[in-house]
Amino acid sequence: MRLSLLWVLLFALFPAQVRAQDQPAAPQPAPVYIWHADPSVGVATRLENVTLPAVLPTAAYDPALPVVVIVDKSNHMTRALQVRKTDKSEEVVEVLAIPNANGKPSTPTPSGRTTVRDKRLDPVWHPPASIDPRRRPVPPYSKTHKNPLGVAWIGTNMDSIGLHGTNNPSSIGKSVSHGCVRHQNDDILKLYALVEPGTPIYLVKKMEGTKIRVSDFDAKP
């Protein structure tokens, strides 16, 4: 009984230290070089592909450079990447990270590389027959909040899959959609401003371990 009381007193006196030891260390940003002039880095010539880590260094968006979008389904995050260039290296960096909601188990968001096909602000929604057999169009979100696309739509070349806003903000961070990728309305507008038709989009289980083409960063669409 006395020993138990002693442990309780010790934990009360040093709670922060005990909890800090129990918690795993947060992942640290890992540089991903396309090429680097320093031979010790091991990337002397420009690579054809790079493998992404769990966390990338962040940087400000450069409107002069192309963007590559990563939809991380497991972590419910959509990320925009660019390459930061210096005289001695080219490094992949993250310029935007926004939470998403993706497909539920019965209608999962597919995986693979695709590109932006089109984009529209305040879009009309044409529901699939599985939701409305008559496929009656739903007016834009600005006219009715029954429109689940929210304030913007970014269509892809992967059938009817797109990235869009939402009329159900509480769903973000979950796997609940019919296959598309939802975002908060303020967030989808941020992504909308960064992409154009032709922008590469990778829909992946998780960003860590994803291999992307270096050529995707070479020219704006």
Per-residue 3-state assignment (H helix, E strand, C coil) for 47-96: CCEEECCCCCCECCCCCCCCCEEEEECCCCEEEEEEEEECCCEEEEEEEE
Residue 25 counted as domain residue: no
Does 3 reside within a domain? no
Cα-only R_g, the chain: 22
The CATH number given to whatever domain includes residue 67 is 2.40.440.10
Does 6 reside within a domain? no
Q: Which domain holds residue 209?
A: 30-217
Report pLDDT digits (tens) over 179-201: 999 999 999 999 999 999 999 99
Residue 21 placed within a domain: no
* The pLDDT of residue 5: 55
Residue 98 lies in a domain: yes
16 inside domain: no
Structure-block tokens of residue 57: 């260094």
What is the count of structural domains for the chain? 1
Q: 129-163 pLDDT, tens per residue?
A: 888 888 899 999 999 999 999 999 999 999 889 99
What does residue 50 show for φ and ψ, rounded to 5 degrees? Answer: -130, 150
